[in-house]
Amino acid sequence: MGWNLTLEYALSASAVARGWSGYFVNLLQSSGISAPYWLDNYPINSVFSLSPLSGLVIAVCTVILLRGVKESGRFNLIITCVNVGILLFMIILGTFYVNPENWTPFFPFGVHGVWRGVGTLFFSYIGFDSVSTLAGEVKNPGRDLPLGIIITLVVSTTLYVSFLWC
């Protein structure tokens, strides 16, 4: 089970790092700064490519984790608060621009779009999985763990639905 979790976290960390590097390059480009092509997409062959920037993101996160549980927990809390703050900002701003005419057709991207949504939910599950693996760390796991998972499910579901509604 430990090796399965290691593989799961390695896959999710690499996917998130690749996403962050893409966001960073897009931020540079939207600011008028021309980022080199190889920074986020160094082609190996016609199918695969590397992202040196993703490796840097993983290295920085590794250094933060090596600093200790308290420091990495604090960093995680800060990043989570920033993410939730950005989502709330986008939801509040987006409510002023809701146009129900855009909801038709209901499946604009067909089955392919549904599978992309399933991929997003897979990464959400990894977060809940990490919550349940920390059962030995809480003071009262019989009460605190189910409560934490249910609150997390309610908050994340509300944010997902609210964001998609906008």
pLDDT tens sequence across 115-127:
888 877 777 666 6
% of the chain at pLDDT higher than 90: 11
The verdict on 67 and 100 lying in the same domain is: no
Overall domain count for the chain? 2
- Whether 89 is in a domain gets the answer no
Q: Is residue 48 part of a domain?
A: yes
9 and 72 in one domain? yes
Confidence of residue 45 (pLDDT cuts 50, 70, 90): confident
CA 133, CA 121: separation in Å to the nearest integer?
Answer: 19
13 near 27, Cβ under 8 Å?
no
pLDDT tens for each residue of 140-154: 888 888 888 888 788
Out of 56, 82, 108, pick the residue that ends a domain. Answer: 82
- Asked whether residue 87 is assigned to any structural domain, the reply reads no
pTM given for the model? 0.65
Domain stop point among 82, 108, 143: 82
